[in-house]
Amino acid sequence: MSAIKNSYGVEANFDGLVGPSHHYAGLSDGNIASKSNAQSIANPKAAALQGLMKMKALADRGFAQGVLPPHLRPNTSVLRSIGFTGSDAEVIAKAWKQAPEIASRCFSASAMWTANAATVSPAPDTQDGKTHFTPANLTRMFHRSFESRFTARVLKQIFADERYFAHHDPLPAGHYFGDEGAANHTRLAPSHSEKGVEFFVYGEQAFNETRVKPTRYPARQSLEASYAIARLHGLDFDKTVFAQQNPDVIDQGVFHNDVIAVGTTNCLFHHEQAFYQSAEVIAELKAKMNSDDFSVVEVPTSQVSVQDAVSTYLFNTQLLDVSQGGKPSFMLVAPTECEENAAVSAYLKELEQSSSAPIDEVVFFDLRESMKNGGGPACLRLRVQLQQAELNGLGARVLIDDSLYEDLCDWVNTHYRDRLAYEDLTDPQLIDELKAAAIALEQVLGMSGLYELN
Ligand code: SUG
């Protein structure tokens, strides 16, 4: 196995550790997997171990691989904020009685999809030379709308060194500034450590009713939110592209741009139908990248339909730069669903062999538990481009090595159930189990006091 370490800059992937309350509640309108698996039986233990296996495999290949902790569930702060009182157990019992649809959402483990945790602009792109973080407000889906507070705390604790990192508050609540984080943001650049082009893809212009927008499913990212982040992060607008997602594909289940496009450094891999006015978008990206090394790999509908892209998550793959010695080369981390679909699997074989596209290797992972809620390999990770000094100075034990992997697997095996049905959420014993797991995890990650607030 080759080690892809770059002495002056790396792209670290911070994967969300699947939380012990992982279940299928059918909560996300426009997310076909979430809706169609509603109330099927989940296996939280398998879900967490599947995610850890991907992290370990990428760490073993030499990639910088981090982990972000799950959020404590149920979220009793939300229930208290809407008037439920008493001890935690009383608050939850009252909520189940008076407002079960709200109580159940407070158990969601959806923070596992850390591509929605924040938007990150690395130091080379920003005016002040710091890496900027804005936690996503996730305002469109109630069960996700209360993730940002805890996410902000986690990011501040891990990326604590103020010489290197700047943290912003989540954008104002409400769909006008609907922000779903890195799932709608791609950074392209000659290399991880050089100034790049930040590419924001939005679903709607919220203040402009006359513009095209999806009609069936919600647009979860607004242009206004993307602009706000670019301003807050101090980006150079000459090196920033704002593009509208094709509303027709949102209406076919592409609820985030990362379900239909993925990119890193010198490569953008996307479906023909991903963007509204696609030719203009690609031309602007090419002009702003201004490099012969930049390649755009466009997958035609004749080879892979939007429906197959959505059901296999071909584009919710991780595109990892494995270039060595000047020749661009990329590896794709795909879910096993891609291998099982005839059209997608044939396309991927052709891609690996093609000499015109720089994607030379595809590796598959079983992430079925997450996939059944609409979360593929790329949903599970937040990318942070870091210099070696920044990587060495993180404020918690979150970089995956053999010992952290083993500790986390032990922790999962000790604290997780292997079966969780929707009805099990009302089991009072589950609340104690979730708390005990959280307390133990603080020790493993060296993040004491992490779960004092949720
Ligand atoms: O927000 N699913 C998540 C999946 C997020 C995927 N992330 C990216 N594409 N980056 C969502 O729709 C389903 C929860 C449930 O139904 O139980 C859920 O929240």
Q: Residue 301 sits in a domain of what CATH number?
A: 3.75.10.20
- The pLDDT-based confidence of 7 (bands split at 50, 70, 90) is very low
Our count of domains for the chain comes to 1
Of the residues 143, 256, 271, 415, only one is catalytic, namely 256
Residue 345 has pLDDT above 60, yes or no: yes
Q: Is 198 a catalytic residue?
A: no
More confident residue, 388 or 241: 241
Residue 95 inside a domain? The answer is no
Residue 175 inside a domain? The answer is yes
Cα atoms found within 13 Å of the Cα of residue 244, Cβ hemisphere only: 14
Q: Is 379 a catalytic residue?
A: yes
Rounded distance between C-alpha atoms, residue 112 and residue 136, angstroms = 14
Nearest C-alpha neighbor of 186 from the set 148, 243, 252, 142? 243
Residue 297 has pLDDT above 90, yes or no: yes
333-344 mean pLDDT: 98
Q: Is 101 a catalytic residue?
A: no
Residue 87 has pLDDT above 50, yes or no: yes
Nearest residue CA, atom 19 of ligand 1?
110
Cα atoms found within 13 Å of the Cα of residue 278, Cβ hemisphere only: 18
Euclidean distance between the first and final Cα of the chain, in Å? 40
Residue 94 inside a domain? The answer is no
The parent domain of residue 422 ranges over 9-73+108-445
97-117 mean pLDDT: 97
Residue 93 inside a domain? The answer is no
Q: What pLDDT is recorded for position 3?
A: 37
Nearest C-alpha neighbor of 274 from the set 240, 304, 250? 250
Ligand 1 environment, Cβ below 6 A: 24-28, 31, 34, 108, 110, 113, 115-116, 141, 144, 183, 255-256, 258-259, 373-375, 379
Residue 358 inside a domain? The answer is yes
Q: What pLDDT is recorded for position 214?
A: 96
Q: What pLDDT is recorded for position 388?
A: 87
- The pLDDT-based confidence of 5 (bands split at 50, 70, 90) is very low
Mean confidence (pLDDT) of the chain: 96
Residue 223 inside a domain? The answer is yes
Residue 2 inside a domain? The answer is no
Q: What pLDDT is recorded for position 8?
A: 52
Asked if 315 contacts 306 with a C-beta cutoff of 8 angstroms, the reply is no
How far, in Å, from the CA of 32 to the mean position of ligand 1? 10
Instruction: List own/partner pairs for 349-352 with CB under 8 A and 24 or more apart.
Output: 351/297
- The pLDDT-based confidence of 454 (bands split at 50, 70, 90) is low
Residue 94 has pLDDT above 90, yes or no: yes
Residue 1 inside a domain? The answer is no
Nearest C-alpha neighbor of 167 from the set 242, 239, 229, 75? 229
